[in-house]
Chains A and B, each alone.
Chain A
Amino acid sequence: GAGVSQSPSNKVTEKGKDVELRCDPISGHTALYWYRQSLGQGLEFLIYFQGNSAPDKSGLPSDRFSAERTGGSVSTLTIQRTQQEDSAVYLCASSLQGGALMNTEAFFGQGTRLTVV
């Protein structure tokens, strides 16, 4: 597609349930990022994938959070046993290249608004 696509756009789930959020990056983009924006808060880094390298998971807030990227393209962020504090907008971004020395523009998806009730 022309841009970064995320699904679903909105998700309401009960506390304790697992959720999966999907990100389709721009075709050919090797770098993929997940960020989170809680209500009234700034954006928070979660995880970064670059090609076939091991992902940078240092931003994941707990072991209930995990993410994978299959075939270097689509990524899924999974939150297990959701808690109310997980309620946030989860944003995915991709860029042509990543890494400290690679400053290419990041393109963001529209985000998934997760509400845990």
Chain B
Amino acid sequence: KNEVEQSPQNLTAQEGEFITINCSYSVGISALHWLQQHPGGGIVSLFMLSSGKKKHGRLIATINIQEKHSSLHITASHPRDSAVYICAVKGTSGSRLTFGEGTQLTVNP
């Protein structure tokens, strides 16, 4: 079992739909990151969370430390949101990030 698991692995939505991507982890963490990777391979950091909820534009990220679970929500999805979304956690010792395998999101017009 991976330390970081994401679901779903693949998600196809219609433009305008509300999207949720989930991340569960099994280790103690000091922070959780949501990353976006576009087809060209570049990675952009969307959020870094250690508690509660953050919002940036149409993106919302939440984390429940007790349940070891985080969700990334996209409201009013758009085709340009199509990308791989990756959850990564930073443990309580050391500095490395441990990554989930990513969720491939495709938003159709």
List the interface of chain A (C-beta within 8 A of B). 31, 33, 35, 37, 41-45, 48, 50, 56, 58-59, 89, 91, 93, 98-111, 113
Contacts and interface: CB of A to CB of B under 8 A. Distances in A.
B98 A89 contact: no
Given A59-B96, A93-B43, A108-B35, 7 more contacts: A37-B41, A45-B98, A89-B41, A91-B41, A100-B90, A108-B43, A109-B42
A63 to B, nearest CB: 19
Contacts, number: 70
A42 B100 contact: yes
B24 to A, nearest CB: 15
B59 interface: no
A44 B98 CA distance: 7
A103 B31 contact: yes
Interface of B: 30-31, 33, 35, 40-45, 48, 50, 86, 88, 90-102
Contact of A110 (B42, B91, B97, B98): B42
A110 B40 contact: yes
18 contacts: A33-B97, A42-B100, A42-B102, A43-B97, A43-B99, A45-B97, A91-B41, A91-B43, A98-B95, A100-B30, A100-B90, A101-B30, A104-B48, A108-B35, A108-B44, A110-B40, A110-B41, A110-B42
